[in-house]
Structure 1
Amino acid sequence: MTHSPKLLEKMQNTLRRKHYAYRTEKTYLDWARRYILFHNKRHPQEMGVPEIETYLTYLAVERNVSASTQNQALAGIIFLYTQVLKIEIDPKEINASRAKRSQKLPVVLSKEEAHKIINLMVGTHKLMTQILYGGGLRLMEVIRLRTKDIDFANRQIIVRSGKGDKDRVTMLPEKIIEPLQNHLFRIKEVHKLHLKNGYGSVYLPNALAIKYPHAKIEWQWQWVFPSKTLSKDPHSGETRRHHLGASSLQRAVRKAGKLSGINKRISPHTFRHSFATHLLENGYDIRTVQELLGHKNVQTTMIYTHVLNRGGIYVRSPLDD
């Protein structure tokens, strides 16, 4: 294929110009590449709705992908056409076989189970998991926290550019204030050392690096959970300290989950599910929980009311009469 390398490079440049997250950039490029390869390396300009439908149907029927994965593929392909090739395609016109959306209820820990797992963890990973459970943050939201997002005075955490690129506020648990302050003190000392050695800068979102050229070395913009090692920025090529990787926390949570002996599939997101469920158990209204979670639609939050009702939690079994 003679066209695709230049085309995918153009797509990458467009994604970066529009300030898409690096993970989204990689995902969209991968789906565009797979779409082209599926159609024997034909140029997308020679294809259209029928070929998109064929590929999406293949994903659902032959590959048996989830609905979210199929939607992700569609989003990447639509971006290629509308933003790169400037060919308007309405997703509503695409009549492909749709992957079935899972009806599974989320895995939720009891309060005792959540504390048991957290108490089996140590150091930075323990602190991160306490924020997952104590504030209901998503995995990447915790990892991407910057020091300015922690508001000790008002006991709150500001979640910047969450899902849907929206900011929100959630609570900062009283229990972690002192360990988090101690953690930030240590991080700040390391930051000072890096500045002396010519490093200490971080990635800044969108055009902030141009508008505020010195902001990248300021303390307020530093990661709350930085990586232990320096790395090269994939966009700029600059050597700097990035935030901890997602896999590091995922491994730590899985390890603690196994050690706990709790027979549930436990991941960092399990603590977000548990946060929502336990708030509802404590009598907080669904709209409050929706805002804390950052859900656009209250129907998404309603899944936790089903979790509360499962297994007859509030219904007495006739066997116990």
Structure 2
Amino acid sequence: MDQVSVVCRRRHLSRRTEQAYRFWIRRYIHFHDRQHPRAVGPVGIVAFINHLAAVRGVAASTQSQALNALLFLYRDVLEAEVGHLSGLRRVQRRERLPVVLSTDEVVSTLAQMDGVVALMAHLLYGSGLRVTECITLRVKDVDLQAGLIHIRAGKGGKDRTTLLPDRLQAQLRRQLLGVARPHKRDLVRGAGFVPLPNALERKYPSASQSLAWQFLFPSRVVRACPQTGRLLRWHASESGVQMAFKEAVRQAGITKHASVHTLRHSFATHLLASGTDIRTIQLLLGHRNLKTTMIYTHVEQAVRKTVSPLDRLHLP
């Protein structure tokens, strides 16, 4: 498992991808009675992946993630030839329309939230951010003057720029001041460090203590880095805004199966309904393929006010 982590970091895979790969590799080893994957060989992949489909009943995306983890294990970590996996039964991927809140439902939900989690939720809807993109924003990524937010190393390791709602300008200024004050106190007591991506800490030794690199939504707790012993202030946990949003949906009386990611879907759908072209929405969302963004055209069709044929009948 240490080898898996080393190769993941050498290839600059995200921590989430590394965690997912380690999880599935561990499950794979236990499935084969804790035999070493090299002893099992690539032929063991088929039995495990088919087990996930036939016995565990996992979704297509889950099965694909497990398969990618095992292919990564054999090809990149063990450097073994996999070849053709005959007999592999793949779960059929089904096209699902994303859950979208109406504008009234967004207003009702956001009205139930307050504090920092409310600001996060407003950003998710107003800028189309993913949850992890929101909580990992740095001070330097917010350009109040230009009205832009810069996303660094988002999903797939891609950078992009999205809009910053004018309505959030004052709140974000207060949030930035709220980050600067505790940062000064941390510096006085010899802390004030934040984790930096890749090898930037060696390239720019002082950047770890600079205000620009501090997280926009910092954690309240300072933790010691296991490698260096430095006191690091990480970003806030995504579970905070997730639980707050779930409670807000309940209090608003909304029965849709909405998660905090629904705000991103609503951002795209409402932009499309207001006349924004699909290419612009693709850039704002950071989709690699326009086909991914096109799903919102189907949602937008459902949102339009279409008159039912029943309503056209002159019934008594």
Sort the TM-score into its range (normalised by shorter chain).
Answer: over 0.9
Q: 1:174-193 deviations in whole A, cap 9, x for unaligned?
A: 00010110111011111010
Q: CA deviation at 1:18?
A: 3.1
- 1:125 is aligned, of 117, 122, 143, to 117
Q: Could you tell me how far apart the structure 1 residues matched to 2:297 and 2:305 are?
A: 12
The answer to whether the Cα contact below 8 Å between 1:138 and 1:272 also exists between their aligned partners in 2 is: yes
- 2:300 is aligned, of 297, 302, 308, to 308
Structural mapping, 1:39-54, within 5 Å: 39-54=32-47
Q: Could you tell me how far apart the structure 1 residues matched to 2:43 and 2:75 are?
A: 16
The question of 1:59 aligning with 2:52 is answered: yes
Q: Could you tell me how far apart the structure 2 residues matched to 1:89 and 1:286 are?
A: 40
Q: CA deviation at 1:23?
A: 2.3
| More displaced stretch, 267-276 vs 227-236 | 227-236
Q: Which runs of 5+ in 2 are unaligned?
A: none
Q: Could you tell me how far apart the structure 2 residues matched to 1:234 and 1:143 are?
A: 22
Q: 1:203-231 deviations in whole A, cap 9, x for unaligned?
A: 10011011111111111111000011112
Counterpart code for 2:258: I
Q: Could you tell me how far apart the structure 2 residues matched to 1:270 and 1:94 are?
A: 38
Counterpart code for 1:222: Q
Q: CA deviation at 1:297?
A: 0.9
The answer to whether the Cα contact below 8 Å between 1:66 and 1:102 also exists between their aligned partners in 2 is: no
Structural mapping, 1:21-36, within 5 Å: 21-36=14-29
Q: Could you tell me how far apart the structure 2 residues matched to 1:95 and 1:288 are?
A: 42
The answer to whether the Cα contact below 8 Å between 1:52 and 1:94 also exists between their aligned partners in 2 is: no
Q: 1:96-122 deviations in whole A, cap 9, x for unaligned?
A: 211232332111001111121112111
Q: Secondary structure at the match of 1:62?
A: helix
Q: CA deviation at 1:235?
A: 5.9
Q: CA deviation at 1:315?
A: 2.6
Q: CA deviation at 1:54?
A: 1.2
- 1:17 is aligned, of 10, 24, 29, to 10
Q: Against the structure 1 CA distance between its residues 236 and 274, is the aligned structure 2 distance closer, same or farther, given a 3 Å change threshold?
A: farther
Q: Which runs of 5+ in 1 are unaligned?
A: 1-7
Counterpart code for 1:264: K
Q: Secondary structure at the match of 2:220?
A: strand
Q: Could you tell me how far apart the structure 2 residues matched to 1:235 and 1:249 are?
A: 29
TM-score normalised over the length of structure 2:
0.94
Q: Could you tell me how far apart the structure 2 residues matched to 1:197 and 1:80 are?
A: 44
Counterpart code for 2:51: Y
The percent of aligned pairs where both chains have the same amino acid is 45
How many residues were matched structurally? 312
- 2:311 is aligned, of 306, 309, 320, to 320
TM-score normalised over the length of structure 1:
0.92
Q: Name the structure 2 match of 1:258.
A: 250
Q: Could you tell me how far apart the structure 2 residues matched to 1:154 and 1:216 are?
A: 25
Counterpart code for 2:15: Y
Structural mapping, 1:1-321, within 5 Å: 8-89=1-82, 93=85, 95-233=87-225, 238-310=230-302, 313-321=304-312
Q: Could you tell me how far apart the structure 2 residues matched to 1:237 and 1:23 are?
A: 23
The answer to whether the Cα contact below 8 Å between 2:138 and 2:214 also exists between their aligned partners in 1 is: yes
Q: Could you tell me how far apart the structure 1 residues matched to 2:91 and 2:201 are?
A: 41
Counterpart code for 2:138: R
Q: CA deviation at 1:319?
A: 1.9
Counterpart code for 1:64: G
Q: Could you tell me how far apart the structure 2 residues matched to 1:241 and 1:188 are?
A: 13
Counterpart code for 1:317: S
Q: CA deviation at 1:19?
A: 3.2
Counterpart code for 1:146: R
Q: Against the structure 1 CA distance between its residues 258 and 235, is the aligned structure 2 distance closer, same or farther, given a 3 Å change threshold?
A: farther
Q: Against the structure 1 CA distance between its residues 296 and 94, is the aligned structure 2 distance closer, same or farther, given a 3 Å change threshold?
A: farther
Counterpart code for 1:316: V
Counterpart code for 1:103: E
